[in-house]
Amino acid sequence: MVAAAGYWSSPQSVAHLSVLVAPHCRGRRLARAVASAAVAHALDAGLLPQWRARPYPSQRVAVALGFRELGAQLSIRLGDVPLDQSR
């Protein structure tokens, strides 16, 4: 497997997309292909696709598929809570 995409749906009917491409296979439009299939599946399921594209290559794929930036997210870690117990 060299590329995969999927999503998890939140209670608010939002499909949070995830896309992975093997490093040695990047630059071949594989992210666009698998993400497009995941978006189509989410839309067919009546969900609103959301892509939190932080790295620039991810942003390029999102824009190529018609996504547009509508906001920003800030994550912070409070105190000395271990990462595995912060949820």
Tens of pLDDT along 9-43? 988 899 999 999 999 999 999 999 999 999 999 99
DSSP labels for 6-72?
EEEE-TTSEEEEEEEE-GGGTTSSHHHHHHHHHHHHHHHTT-EEE----SHHHHHHHHHTT------
61 lies in which domain range? 3-85
Contacts of residue 54, Cβ cutoff 8 Å, sequence gap at least 6: none
- pLDDT tens digits for range 29-81: 999 999 999 999 999 999 999 998 888 999 999 999 999 988 887 878 788 76
Q: For position 47, what pLDDT does the model report?
A: 97
What count of Cα atoms within 13 Å lies in the side-chain half-sphere of residue 32? 12
Asked whether residue 86 carries a pLDDT value surpassing 60, the answer given is no
Beta bridge partners of 15: 9, 49
Count structural domains, the chain: 1
Which domain CATH number covers 49? Answer: 3.40.630.30
